[in-house]
Amino acid sequence: MAEVNSELIEKLKQLIITRLKLADMTPEMIETDAPLFGEGLGLDSIDALELVLGLEKEFGVVIPDAEVGKKVFQSVRTMAQHVLDQKEIA
């Protein structure tokens, strides 16, 4: 399994900010291991859809269903791991 690197983490944080139009946030403000939904960033289902589209467009990564999405969108780190896992399979 490939190791999550800080460059990918930064790209994903930037993707979150750009796709969700979080103009007042910087990548440093997003904790890598904090929950994206609920208490962490407080994202909702519409945000999740936007992130699914962003991951597909930017990284060619597919999130086939809500169950996979729940695992992938736990944190920025889990997003990064999913991207790496998908790249290894491709």
Give me the tens of pLDDT residue by residue for the chain, a chain 90 residues long: 678 899 999 999 999 999 999 999 999 999 999 999 988 899 999 999 999 999 999 999 999 999 999 999 999 999 999 999 998 876
Long-range contacts, 49-53 (Cβ 8 Å, 24+): 50/19, 50/20, 51/15, 51/16, 51/19, 51/20, 51/79, 53/19
Q: How crowded is residue 34: how many other Cβ atoms within 10 Å of its Cβ? A: 13
pTM recorded for the entire structure: 0.91
What CATH number has the domain spanning 6-89? 1.10.1200.10
What are the sequence ranges of the domains in the chain? 6-89
The one-letter amino acid at 88:
E
Dig out the tokens for 59 from the structure.
Answer: 């990284």
Q: Which position has the token pair 């904790």?
A: 31
pLDDT at 39: 84
pLDDT at 87: 84
